[in-house]
Structure 1
Amino acid sequence: MEENPITDALFGERVPSRPCDGGPRAWRQAQRRTGERTEPLRVDVVRDLAGFNALEEEWNALVLRVDDQVFYRHEFVRCWLEHFGKGAPLRILTARDAAGSLVAVLGLKEEQGHQYGVPVRQLLSLTNKHSCRFDLLAEEPKRAAAAFLSHLMGDPSWDVLRLSDVPEDGAAWALMHAARGAGMPWGAWPSARSPYLTLPSTVTAWTKGRSNAKPLRRRRRRLEEKGRVEVERVSGSEGLEARLEEAFALEQSGWKAQQGTAIAQAEHRRGFYTSLARMAARRGWLGLYFLRLDSRAIAFQYGLEYGSRYLAMKPGYDEVLGEVSPGHLLTENLVQDCIGRGLKELDLLGDDAPYKREWTQAVRQHHWLFIYRDTLVGQTLQRSKFRWAPVAKRMVGRWVRRR
C-alpha cells in the first residue's frame, strides 16, 4: 500500500508529539486495533443541492448508525441550506467503502473571508448559531479522518478548515488528531456550553429538592390572579401557521427586536424556523409550547422532540409580565409534560445563560476546530490566531488593569 502521512499518523506507531491547547476527552489513542480496516475509502465531493438531495436516504441511514441526532439528519441540514446557505458553493465530502456504501460525510461550504485583515480561503461547516451543533458523521472516525484529510491535502484551493460547535465527544476530533499527527497547523476554541437536564421517571422525583419550586408556585399564584392560565402544546400541522406567527410576534415584542435578532426581523430566519416546524410536524418531532393568560400567549418554547430528548431551540415571553417569570413557569410545565411522556432529557442548547442555570448545572462543552494547510500562509494564520492574538489580548488586559 502506498504510504500516506495521515493514515500513518492515525494507525501507525509514530505519532509526532505536539502540545495540546486543552482538548477534550475525544483525544483518543491512535494505535491500530486488531481487525480494524485500513483499506482506503473513496472520497467524492458534492457541490450542489441536487447532489446533496440525492444522498437523503443514505445520509439518514448513516446518522442512525453513528449518532442519531436531529441536527445531523438530512432534513435538518436541508432546511438550513435552503435558508442560510443560498448561493454558497458546497464542498460536501463523502466517503464510500469498497462495496460502495456511504460510511462518512463531512458537510462543508466554501467562503472567502479575512483573518486579522488577511484574505483567507475557508472551508466552513454547514452551521451558524441556529444549527446548534455539528459533527463528522462516520462509522469509523479515524479512518474517515484519514481519507478526508488526505483528499484535502491534495487540494490547494483552501487555507483553513473550520468546524463550528463540535461536541466535546464528537467524531470530528479525529480530524484534529489526524492533522496533528501529519504536522498540519491546528487549533481549537471553546464555544457554547449548553446546559441540559437529565429527566427522572416521575415528576415527584424531579420536584423533590428543587430550589426554585416555591418561588415559582408564588409567581404562578400571582399570574392566576390575573386570569385563566393554560398551557398548550402544538405538535401537528393543523393551525401551525397561526401559532408560529403568534410565537414570532411575541418574540419580536421584547429585547430581541432592539438587538435585531428576533426571528421575524430577517426573512432567512423566519423561513428557516417556519420550514423546520412544518417538516418536524409532518414527522412527529415538533414540540411548540405556549403559556396562555386568558387565551393570550405570554410565553412560548419552540423546540423539537427527538430520540427521547426535548431540544429547546427558541424561547420567548411577554416582558410586561416579567415579574411573574412566564418563561420559567412555562419551562416548569414543559419539564412536567416531558417526564409524563417518558422523555429522558431536556437539552437547553445554545450558550450557558444564567436563566438556564436555574434548572440545571450540567453542561455540554462545544468547540470550534481549525485545521490549516501546512504552507507559509497556513502557518502564519494559525500562529496569528492561537499565539500572537492571545498574547496581545493578555498584554492589553494587563495594561487596562494597571491604569
Structure 2
Amino acid sequence: MRDDIGLFCPPSLGTTDIRVEVVDVDEFAQAGDAWRDLVSRTAVPNVFMEPAVVLALDRSTGIDIRVLMAWHVTAGDMGGDKPPRLLGVWVVTVGRSPSGLPIRILKSPISKYAYFGAPVVDTEYASAVFTALFDRIALDPKLPKLLLAGDMMDEGPLADALRGALAARGSRAVVIERRKRAKLQSDLTGSSYLGRSLSGNRRRRYQQLRKRLALMGAVTTTSHRSSNEVRSAFEDFLLLEASGWKGKRRSAILNDAKSTAFARAMIADLAEADLVAIHALRLDGRAIAMSVELRSGAACFAWRISFDESLRQFAPGILLLHEVTVALLDDRSIVVTDSCNHRDVGFVADCWAERLSIVDLLIDTRPARAAMIETVGGAERLRRRARENAKSLYKAAKRWGASVYKGHARGS
C-alpha cells in the first residue's frame, strides 16, 4: 500500500521538488537499483535500513513498520520523461512510547538488533530531504508526530543537516542521551594499526596466549562470504552465543523464536547480496570465537561477536578481533567500521582507537510544541535512569554475594 503526499522543497532548489511517500515493506523491497544508487551517494550508510533487514523483521515479527521514501523530481520528471531519483529513506516503527506514557510515537532503529538509526540520505540534498521528511510526518494524519530517533550520528554533515532542518522549521528536538562508541577508521594497514593501538607488552601477551592455545590443537582463522557458507557458519554462531552468558541470561538470539527467525532471514538475505562476512577462530576445526560483520556501501557494522567461555583464559574473542581488524583495514572498499557497542567499553573499545559520537533524540515534527516534547523526553530519561540504577544495584549485589561466598569458603 502506498500513501503519497507531494511536498515541495525550499525555493533555493529552483525547479526541483521532493516527493515523500510512505510505503509498506514489500514495496520498499522492490526499490532495487534505486536503493543501491542511493547507498552509493550517501556519506552515512546504514545496513539496518537495507531492504533485506526490514523485510526479515516484518515477516518474523509483524510489527508496524513504515518506510518514508523521498524522491527527487524535476520539472521534466513530472511529465514522465524519466523516473525520479531516490534521495532518502527512513524506516520507522509505530508503537507505544517506551517511556510508559499512553501515546503512540515513531521509533528508529526498528529493532533491538539494529544498532544505528540514521536515515540513508543523499549527502548533496540532506537538508532538503530532512525538511521534506519532517513535513510529511507533521502533515500526515495517520502518523504520530513524535519521533524517537535513537543511535543517530551526533557529528558530521548529516547531523548538521538534521539540526538545520529542525531549526528552519521551528521544530524541537530534545537530547535523551549522548555517548561515544568505538569505530575503526584508518588509512594504516591492519598490521600497522595493531602495532600502534596495542602496547608492546599487550602484543607479546596475546602472542603467548595464542601459542598456549596452539598446544591444545591447530589454531586457524576462517572467513565465510558465500551464501551457503554464511548460512552454515551463522548456525554455529547462534549455538556458540547461546552457550555463554547471553544464553544463561536469556538474551541470546536463540532464546527467542521471533529473534531467531528474524536473524536467520536477515543473514540469509544479506548474504545473497554479498553483504555479510563471518569470521571464526577455530581450534582443531571447532569454532571457539566468531564474529558477524554486515556491509552497506562503504560502511561495515561489527554486528555480533561471541566466544567459547570455557577457554576465556586464552582470550579467543580478542585473538579473533585482531584478525578481523587486519582484514577490515586491508579491505580498501571499507571506509569505516562501526563497533555497534552501546557503550564505550569492552575489548573492542580497547583495540579500536577511533570514536563515533552517538545521540538519542526525541523530535517533535510540528513547530513550537515545547510542552509535549519536554514531558515525553523527561519521562524517557527517567525510565533510562531507573534502568541503569537497577543494573548497578544488580551488579553490586552480585559482587557482594561473590565476596561473601569466598569468605565462607576460606573460613570452612
TM bracket (short chain)? 0.7 to 0.9
Q: Where does residue 248 of structure 2 map in the other structure?
A: 258
Question: In the TM superposition, what whole-angstrom CA distance separates every residue of 1:249-276 from its partner, at most 9, and x where no partner exists?
Answer: 1100111112222121223322333233
Q: Deviations over 1:14-40 (max 9, x none)?
A: xxxxxxxxxxxxxxxxxxxxxx41456
Q: Are 2:366 and 1:363 equivalent residues in the alignment?
A: no
Structure 2: distance between partners of 1:364 and 1:324: 29
Contact 1:113–1:121 (CA under 8 A) maintained in structure 2: yes
CA shift for structure 1 position 385:
4.3
> Is residue 70–residue 76 contact of structure 1 (8 Å, CA) maintained in 2?
no
Distance in 2, matches of 1:371 and 1:386, equals 9
Give the deviation of 1:187 after TM superposition.
1.3
Match of 1:16 in 2: none
Cα displacement (A) at 1:291: 1.0
Query: Aligned-pair RMSD on alpha carbons?
Result: 3.3
Q: Tell me the CA shift for residue 313 of structure 1.
A: 0.9
Partner SS, residue 171 of structure 2: coil
Misfit runs of 4+, over 4 Å? 305-310, 339-346, 373-376, 385-394
Q: Is the 8 A contact 1:165 1:191 kept in 2?
A: no
Change (3 A) 1:161 1:204: closer
1:42 touches 1:97 (CA, 8 Å); kept in 2?
yes
- Opposite residue 258 of structure 2, the aligned amino acid is H
Q: Does 1:148 align with 2:133?
A: yes
Does the Cα contact within 8 Å between 2:291 and 2:302 map onto a contact in 1? yes
Question: Of 94, 108, 112, which aligns to 1:125?
Answer: 108
- Closer, same or farther in 2 for the Cα pair 1:336/1:110, shift >3 Å? closer
Distance 1:192 1:269 in 2: 26
Task: Give the whole-Å Cα distance in 1 for the aligned partners of 2:37 and 2:305.
Answer: 31
Q: Secondary structure at the match of 2:94?
A: strand
* Bigger mean CA deviation after superposition, 58-67 or 219-228: 58-67
Q: Secondary structure at the match of 1:349?
A: coil
> How many residue pairs get matched?
362
Name the aligned partner's letter for residue 348 of structure 1. Answer: S
Q: For the residues of structure 2 that align with 1:182 and 1:104, how far apart are their CA atoms? A: 20
SS of alignment partner, residue 290 of structure 1: strand
Q: Distance in 1 between matches of 2:370 and 2:258?
A: 36
Q: Distance in 1 between matches of 2:266 and 2:134?
A: 32
What is the CA distance between 1:88 and its match in structure 2?
0.9
* Distance in 2, Cα, partners of 1:188 & 1:123: 16
Q: Which amino acid aligns with 2:43?
A: D
- 2:306 pairs, out of 295, 300, 316, with 316
For residues 362 and 350 of structure 2, what CA distance do their matches in structure 1 show? Answer: 33
Give the direction of change, closer, same or farther, for the CA distance of 1:172–1:162 in structure 2 (3 Å limit).
Answer: farther
1:165 maps onto 2:151 in alignment = yes
Find the partner of 2:282 among 288, 292, 309: 292
> CA 1:305/1:250 → structure 2, altered by over 3 Å: closer, same or farther?
same
Choose 385-394 or 303-312, whichever is displaced more: 385-394
Matched, 1:179 2:162: no
Separation (CA, whole Å) in 2 of partners of 1:89 and 1:205: 44
User: Cα deviation per residue 1:53-76 (whole Å; 9 max; x = unaligned)?
Assistant: 332322221221223635144334
Greater helix proportion: 2
Instruction: Give, as a single letter, the amino acid of the residue that structure 2 aligns with 1:92.
Output: L
Q: For 1:237 and 1:119, locate their aligned partners in 2 and report how far apart those are by CA, in whole Å.
A: 44
SS at structure 1 position matched to 2:52:
helix
- Deviation of 1:163 (Å): 1.9
Rounded Cα–Cα distance in structure 2 between residues aligned with 1:51 and 1:308: 25
Task: Tell me how far apart the structure 2 counterparts of residues 359 and 105 of structure 1 sit (CA, whole Å).
Answer: 34
Q: Using the TM superposition, give the Cα deviation of residue 301 of structure 1 relative to its aligned residue in structure 2, in angstroms.
A: 0.7
- Which residue of structure 1 aligns with residue 222 of structure 2? 232
2:54 maps to 1:54: no
**Greater CA drift, 104-113 or 352-361:** 104-113
Q: 2:180 aligns with which of 190, 193, 201?
A: 193
Distance 1:58 1:338, change over 3 A: closer
**Could you give the per-residue CA deviations for residues 87-108 of structure 1, whole angstroms, max 9, x where no partner exists?**
4152524333232513433424
Q: Percent identity?
A: 19
Provide closer, same or farther for how the CA distance between residues 327 and 187 of structure 1 changes in structure 2, counting only shifts above 3 A. same
Mapping of 1:103-142 within 5 angstroms? Answer: 103-114=86-97, 116-136=99-119, 137-138=121-122, 139-142=124-127
Q: Give the 5 Å matches for 1:52-91.
A: 52-67=28-43, 69=45, 71=47, 72-84=49-61, 86-91=62-67
C-alpha distance in 2 between matches for 1:147 and 1:194: 30
Counterpart pick for 1:384 among 375, 387, 398: 375
Of the structure 1 ranges 163-172 and 312-321, higher mean CA displacement relative to structure 2 is found in 163-172
Q: Could you list the per-position Cα deviations for residues 101-148 of structure 1 after superposition, in whole angstroms to 9, with x for gaps in the alignment?
A: 134334244524146543212122352342222323234122122323
